[in-house]
Chain A
Amino acid sequence: MKRVLENIENQFEMFQILNEKGEVVNEDAMPDLSDEDLKEIMRRMVYTRILDQRSIALNRQGRLGFYAPTAGQEASQLGSQFALDKADFILPGYRDVPQLIWQGLPLYQAFLFSRGHFKGNQMPEGVNAVSPQIIIGAQITQAAGVGLGFKKRKEDAIAITYTGDGGASQGDFYEGINFAGAFGAQAVFVVQNNQFAISVPVDKQSAAQTIAQKAVAAGIEGIQVDGMDVLAVYAATKEARQRAVDGDGPTLIETMTYRYGPHTMAGDDPTRYRTEDMDSDWEEKDPIVRFRKFLESKDLWSEEEENKVIEQAKEEVKAAIKEADNTPKQKVTDLMENMYEEMPSNLQEQYEEYKEKESK
């Protein structure tokens, strides 16, 4: 029995292109990206790190509501998103707001999502995504459905969805990848293994040595990727996307990553379950530091350029918060109007009552 497990685990060695020093360790796997693409990826990572810092600060000031920190996961979130086409459909988890922003969700709407305003969830026309999923696992079965829909319509598009290491213990996680496999759905499933589900470490989720190997249970391809290496995440997602649209089935990608911040800003205190050693080990793997070194070695990045991005991010955050502040308050009648195409009799009756209240 032991041999079976070892044989399986050997199939899931971590895929890496850049090491922690920013050196290319896997030249053959190097994705085809222009200098401008490489710089754009760096800009997005820096921007997103600043966005995280500002979001935490704004949350502490009470100017944002629900917020799940993203620092540390920039390579995992943005490397995978950068591999997508506009036609691809994102089904994010609650921590995956950055992917939505880079797919086209205006920043002020992301802030409205955080605050709890329906306008934050209204994806602009052409942004193929739904708002962040709070029920862990639900996005996985839905992604199988979107991926099946694309297959039925013979579209050159995939569904991509994200969950965390804890999420891989859900029934819907297994059902979703299994349905996608059985139907040959055009879908890519990303598990961002940031080592903790709130306070529970990944080794308490499962005896499986990798999450990527859970793909075996669905009979689909699985790959474990260095989630702090943006080039590896990009390359793995790009390939998985291609396989999906070529009719070769879905892929499960496990990105090995880390969240530097708390689980959410709702009172979670990571010092209760994480050691400083662990934090500093992972800080050495910082995806931005690593990629910066790589770009600097190619003369593609400078401090000046980075500062420009930082300033731009801060200004845009300020403007977006202002725009969120200026969004009209929600009325009960708005909520009622969004329930059905045609209001049923009970709602019609209540609508009249609230219309009356609101007119006073």
Chain B
Amino acid sequence: MAQMTMIQAITDAMRTELKNDENVLVFGEDVGQNGGVFRATEGLQDEFGEERVFDTPLAESGIGGISIGLSLTGFRPVPEIQFFGFVYETMDAISGQMARYRYRSGNTRSMPITVRSPFGGGVHTPELHADSLEGLMAQQPGLKVVIPSNPYDAKGLLIQSIRDNDPVIFLEHMKLYRSFREEVPEEEYTIELGKAEIKREGTDVTLVAYGAMVHSCLKAAEELEKDGVSAEVIDLRTVSPVDYETILASVEKTNRAVVVQEAQKQAGIASNVVSEIQEKAILHLEAPVLRVSAPDTVYAFTQAEEVWLPNHNDIVEKVNKVVNF
């Protein structure tokens, strides 16, 4: 076991898979000699050579296109989109193409691609770096969307994503890259996609979250505990498909739920979770399911992040509403 930050765990996962499978290729803007703008691919080109880990021209759509072409020749591409705000440039390659290839070829072609990309607020990035656009991806049949919240999950989920024979969008929250370390096994291990994890057990209310909001929920849960409210915190880990089984079991126990996301209220995936709960567990509910999310504006200008991004206070407030409904 080693103490790793999330970014180190991510590098470790790629190193593991580059070693395991000669078809794995890592590429993108500045991922080669430079080791990535966040050092996620540091040392990988030196270790595996330019044939396996390489820089590309600055064009996201082209990166998506070559990922598809490399898959058609039997490779397992792990491309990087430098910031997920740039996904618009490659929406066709992802949603219009790779997500649909297995289906459009009648199951004769597959796209074992893992698109890695950083996102997320709280680190004062310039425009279109921090936007939460997982909702766009979650709406596309054919994709899986994974968002880890800690180093241990990041490694296990990334190895599993790379081994998956269908396209996976792997979104890495920038604020979590180096915010804490935890024990991460040095050997390989995997975490099944589409499986949530209960991060904290509770009896009064279910908090469903992913990404940085998992930590805000845990902080809120601690405060709520002082007021005698016991919150169960679920980390989705995969936002498409969502592990509704775990959520529903929790809601049946607590009878109350709040879904928490960093994305705007009209975006993200919280509405999906609310719908599923009301379809499948309405008779277990003591109160409506509420959402914590950002306002429906364009992502905040840097200096407005603090007042705009949802935080643990917003969560406590919503939980109190649900508990006192």
CB atoms of B57 and A178 under 8 A apart: yes
Are A179 and B57 also in contact (CB < 8 A) when A142-B68, A148-B66, A344-B241 are?
yes
Q: Which of A144, A153, A176, A179 has the most CB of B within 10 A?
A: A179
**Complex Cα spacing A9 to B275, Å:** 61
Which of B28-36, B103-111, B255-263 forms contacts with chain A? B103-111
CB atoms of B67 and A145 under 8 A apart: yes
Which of B5-13, B69-77, B173-181, B206-214 forms contacts with chain A? B69-77
Which of A69-77, A257-265, A287-295, A332-340 forms contacts with chain B? A332-340
**Complex Cα spacing A119 to B103, Å:** 11
Are A118 and B106 also in contact (CB < 8 A) when A138-B93, A141-B69, A346-B241 are?
yes
CB-nearest residue of chain A relative to B98?
A: A142
CB atoms of B104 and A179 under 8 A apart: no
**Complex Cα spacing A179 to B241, Å:** 33
CB atoms of A175 and B106 under 8 A apart: no
From B62, B73, B97, B108, contact of A175 by CB (8 A): B62
- Does A83 reach chain B (CB closer than 8 Å)? no
**Complex Cα spacing A172 to B59, Å:** 9
- Does B61 reach chain A (CB closer than 8 Å)? yes
- Does B51 reach chain A (CB closer than 8 Å)? yes
CB atoms of B103 and A142 under 8 A apart: no
Chain B, 49-101, CB within 8 A of any chain A CB: 51, 56-57, 59, 61-62, 64-75, 92-93, 96-97, 101
* B144 partner residues in chain A, CB cutoff 8 A: 344
- Does B185 reach chain A (CB closer than 8 Å)? no
* A337 partner residues in chain B, CB cutoff 8 A: 107
* A46 partner residues in chain B, CB cutoff 8 A: none
**Complex Cα spacing A91 to B101, Å:** 13
From B66, B72, B105, contact of A141 by CB (8 A): B66
* B64 partner residues in chain A, CB cutoff 8 A: 141
Are A345 and B245 also in contact (CB < 8 A) when A149-B75, A339-B102 are?
yes
Chain A, 124-141, CB within 8 A of any chain B CB: 130-131, 135, 138, 140-141
CB atoms of A153 and B73 under 8 A apart: yes
**How many interface residues does B have (CB within 8 Å)?**
45
Q: Which of A119, A146, A178, A347 has the most CB of B within 10 A?
A: A146
Are A340 and B57 also in contact (CB < 8 A) when A141-B66, A145-B66 are?
no
CB-nearest residue of chain A relative to B73?
A: A149
From B61, B110, B240, contact of A172 by CB (8 A): B61
CB atoms of B241 and A345 under 8 A apart: yes
CB-nearest residue of chain A relative to B103?
A: A338
Are A175 and B61 also in contact (CB < 8 A) when A135-B92, A144-B66, A344-B144 are?
yes
- Does A67 reach chain B (CB closer than 8 Å)? no
CB atoms of B166 and A341 under 8 A apart: yes
* B97 partner residues in chain A, CB cutoff 8 A: 135, 138, 142
CB atoms of B72 and A138 under 8 A apart: no
- Does A123 reach chain B (CB closer than 8 Å)? yes
CB atoms of B65 and A172 under 8 A apart: yes
**Complex Cα spacing A150 to B101, Å:** 20
* A340 partner residues in chain B, CB cutoff 8 A: 102, 142, 166
**Complex Cα spacing A46 to B69, Å:** 33
From A150, A159, A179, A344, contact of B56 by CB (8 A): A179
- Does A247 reach chain B (CB closer than 8 Å)? no
Quote the shortest CB–CB distance from A133 to chain B (angstroms). Answer: 9
CB atoms of B102 and A138 under 8 A apart: no
CB atoms of A142 and B65 under 8 A apart: yes
From B69, B71, B164, B243, contact of A144 by CB (8 A): B69
Are A152 and B61 also in contact (CB < 8 A) when A146-B72, A339-B142, A344-B144 are?
no
* B242 partner residues in chain A, CB cutoff 8 A: 345-346
**Complex Cα spacing A87 to B21, Å:** 24
- Does A208 reach chain B (CB closer than 8 Å)? no
Are A178 and B68 also in contact (CB < 8 A) when A135-B96, A138-B96, A335-B103 are?
no
Task: Give 10 pairs: A residue, B residue, CB < 8 Å, sorted on A.
Answer: A130-B101, A142-B65, A142-B69, A142-B97, A143-B69, A144-B69, A153-B73, A179-B59, A341-B102, A344-B241
B interface residue numbers (CB < 8 A to A): 51, 56-57, 59, 61-62, 64-75, 92-93, 96-97, 101-110, 141-142, 144, 164-166, 194, 240-245
For the complex of A and B, list the 8 residue pairs with the smallest distance between their C-beta atoms, beginning with the closest: A145-B69, A141-B65, A149-B73, A145-B66, A175-B62, A344-B241, A118-B106, A122-B106
Give me 7 other A-B pairs in contact (C-beta within 8 A), A142-B68, A344-B194 excluded: A89-B72, A141-B64, A145-B69, A152-B51, A175-B59, A179-B65, A344-B241
